[in-house]
Amino acid sequence: MAASPDTAFAYDTLIRGATVIDGSGAAARVADVALREGRIARIVDIDADGGDAEQRIASAAAADVIDAAGLVLAPGFIDVHTHDDTNVVRQPEMMPKLSQGVTTVVVGNCGISAAPVTLRGEPPDPMNLLGDADAFRYPSFAAYVDAIAAARPAVNVAALVGHTALRSNHLDRLDRAAGADEIAAMRAQLQEALDHGALGLSTGLAYANAFAAPTEEVLALAEPLAHAGALYATHLRSEFAEILDAMDEAFRIGRHARVPVVISHLKCAGVDNWGRSGAVLAALDAAQRWQPVGCDCYPYTASSSTLDLKQVTGDFDIMVTWSEAHPGMGGRLLADIAAEWQVDLHEAARRLQPAGAVYHCMEDADVDRILAHPATVIGSDGLPNDPLPHPRLWGAFPRVLGHYARDRELFPLTIAIAKMTGMSAERFGLAGRGFVREGHWADLVLFDAATIRDAATFTEPMQPAEGIAAVWVNGTLSWSRRRATGARAGRFLPRGEPAPAVADAIADT
């Protein structure tokens, strides 16, 4: 229903008769939901008989009316672990995320961020996952915030600051610890970012260009976080045999800085590590008694990153996704490449450098336990610049809803949605997001619970999900009928932004 120029409507959009799952974990209910000026202005529950017509929101009250009978209306999904830092500016349509119902991305994970960065040559590994040197144009965090505003991405953006990015700004080489003056310089840049709304600090201590940083370096760098109300997110120093020690290090940093800890993409990687998820989660539970600790997880048994010589093994399949030295090897198994070259796996990996890879390094039982844990929220960890990306880039969130919640019944749909919305918003301090509530921003996704599924595969990864009917970002219809509308209504979300007042949202209705 379209508005005529001389007609005044109470609402911009009315979503009628949707099965609302509000992001809190509460039971589903049927309701009419009205949007105005980017926010949820009114919600009217409907009883089992269809409700009193006089109590329901009239179709004539809205400029656009969506019949949502039989469909689920949920908060827009929040991807808490992304590497979309440069893509939100360079490819602001954000199709891989928008098409699966994601309305907010958190960038700057694993110690790598687009800002603040001043390069002296090519970006060091793994910062090269974000693009080549030309992609790093933001010497200050404020410059990055301005770039997002100018680009107008299709999704909202919240950002962490990467420890490796800071190290690359101030150290002459990254295979050593930072000195006192270098830590002071890094802290100054971190403080500038916090002053402009950064969510906190991230580290990627498993990577070679951060591994040399001792715990004391991170302790000192994390000290400004508490005053800003920020958090500490970490790609652990090890996700293999030493994972419990690495978790202890993360918890120690959080206690010292007096801030919440988020363990990124928690997993039990490597054949010798399979079956240890019970001990890993017990360690997380024990830490939660004394400090705020959580984790994120993606719903796959394969990881993806740069081709790391330390992770090369014959215990599981490793697929090369790209190689600068040998571009034609993308999409092939490392073992097949090594056999063709008549060399061992490590020599083949060395010849391919720099390169990317997918590691089939986990088992289903561990992924199930971690996904189902009450402290776990969902992040895709997708790599948008890979020529052959891991399918999690396009399919992570529908996979949770279809494969894990509906088909395998790992958890109820209400809990699955909470792990992708309300829990994520609360953990990362995204006020006014993550819930279907009056006064909240109208980041929403409408989907068919019976048909939603991820279509992306390891061989055909760039496939939009099925079952997503519509996506609104800040009240603007941005995805409908399996295609983008062309609207780009996302914005930068600073840490600690005040939530909109309910009274403001529903006034004069």
Q: Are 330 and 195 members of one domain?
A: no
Residues near 475 by beta carbon (within 8 Å), at least 6 away in sequence: 12, 13, 35, 36, 37, 38, 39, 441, 442, 489
Residue 188 forms part of a structural domain: yes
Q: Is 20 within the bounds of a domain?
A: no
Residue 67 pLDDT > 70, yes or no? yes
- Measured between alpha carbons, how far is 414 from 392 in angstroms, rounded to an integer? 21
Q: How far apart are CA 459 and CA 359, in angstroms?
A: 14
What is residue 38's three-state secondary structure?
A: coil
pLDDT band at 498 (very low <50, low <70, confident <90, very high): confident
Range of 330's domain? Answer: 306-356
Q: Are residues 348 and 365 in the same domain?
A: no
Q: Residue 226 domain-assigned?
A: yes
Q: What single letter denotes the amino acid at residue 185?
A: A
In-domain check, residue 66: no
For residue 302, which amino acid is it?
A
**Which pLDDT belongs to residue 49?**
62
pLDDT higher than 80, residue 503: no
**C-alpha pair distances (Å), 179 with each of 110, 116, 118, 184, 370:** 22, 19, 19, 9, 37
pLDDT in tens, 263-302: 999 999 999 999 999 999 999 999 999 999 999 999 999 9
pLDDT (average), residues 358-367: 98
CA distance 298 to 256: 28
Taking residue 180's Cβ as centre, other Cβ atoms within 10 Å add up to: 8
Residue 472 inside a domain? The answer is no
Task: State mean pLDDT over 340-358.
Answer: 97
Which residues pair with residue 77 across a beta bridge?
102
- Average pLDDT of the chain to the nearest whole number: 95
Question: Which pLDDT value is given to residue 505?
Answer: 43
Per residue in 192-214, pLDDT tens? Answer: 999 999 999 999 999 999 999 99
Residues 131, 275 within the same domain: yes
Q: Per the structure, how many domains does the chain have?
A: 2
Tell me how far CA of residue 260 lies from CA of 239, 291, 332, in angstroms.
Answer: 20, 7, 40
Rg (CA), the chain: 23
CA distance 207 to 83: 15
Q: Do 315 and 394 fall into the same domain?
A: no
pLDDT at residue 47 in the model: 81
The pLDDT value given to residue 497? 80
Residue that is written with structure tokens 């063709």 in the block: 340
Could you tell me if 345 and 422 lie in one domain?
A: no
For residues 414-426, give the mean pLDDT.
98
Among residues 380, 398, 432, the one where a domain terminates is 432
Q: Which residues neighbour 32 within 8 Å (Cβ) at sequence distance 6 or greater?
A: 14, 15, 16, 17, 18, 42, 43, 44, 46, 56, 57
Inter-CA distances, 251 with 102, 122, 256, 283, 373, Å: 30, 33, 9, 10, 18
CATH of the domain at 316: 3.30.1490.130
**Is the pLDDT reported for residue 85 higher than 80?**
yes
Q: How confident is the model at residue 216 (pLDDT cuts 50, 70, 90)?
A: very high
Domain assignment present for residue 248? The answer is yes
pLDDT for 54 equals 65
Same domain as 168, residue 116: yes
Give the pLDDT of residue 286: 98
Where is the domain boundary, 417, 432, 447?
432
Segment 93-117, tens digit of pLDDT: 999 999 999 999 999 999 999 999 9
**Statement to judge: residues 415 and 322 lie in one domain:** no
Whether residue 261 sits in one domain with residue 119: yes
Percent with pLDDT over 90 in the chain: 94
* Cα–Cα distance for residue pair 115/193, rounded to 1 Å: 8
Looking at residue 55, its pLDDT comes to 78
Q: Where are the alpha helices (DSSP H) in 292-412?
A: 334-341, 345-352, 364-372, 392-399
Is residue 312 one of the residues assigned to a domain? yes
Please spell the DSSP secondary structure of 327-338, one letter per residue: GGGTTSBHHHHH
Average of per-residue pLDDT across 16-33: 98
Choose one of 356, 375, 395: the last residue of a domain.
356
Residues 377 and 419: their CA atoms lie apart, in Å, by 4
- As a whole number, mean pLDDT of residues 302-329 equals 96
**pLDDT beyond 50 at 340:** yes
- The verdict on 215 and 128 lying in the same domain is yes
User: Which residue, 373, 180, 134, is CA-closest to 266?
Assistant: 373
Interval 473-480 mean pLDDT: 98
* pLDDT number for residue 496: 82
- Of all residues in the chain, the percent with pLDDT exceeding 70 is 95
Give the CATH number, domain containing residue 106: 3.20.20.140
The tens digit of pLDDT for each residue in 236-245 reads 999 999 999 9
> Is residue 59 included in any domain, yes or no?
no
- Global pTM value: 0.96
What is the pLDDT confidence band of residue 51, given thresholds at 50, 70 and 90? low
Residues 115 and 245 in one domain: yes
What pLDDT is recorded for position 4?
46
- Section 55-65 average pLDDT: 94
Long-range contacts, 341-349 (Cβ 8 Å, 24+): 345/312, 345/313, 345/314, 345/318, 346/309, 346/312, 349/307, 349/309, 349/312
- Strand-by-strand arrangement of the 318-323 sheet: 303-306, 355-359, 318-323
- How confident is the model at residue 50, as a pLDDT? 57
Same domain assignment for residues 170 and 227: yes
For residues 257 and 352, state if they share a domain. Answer: no
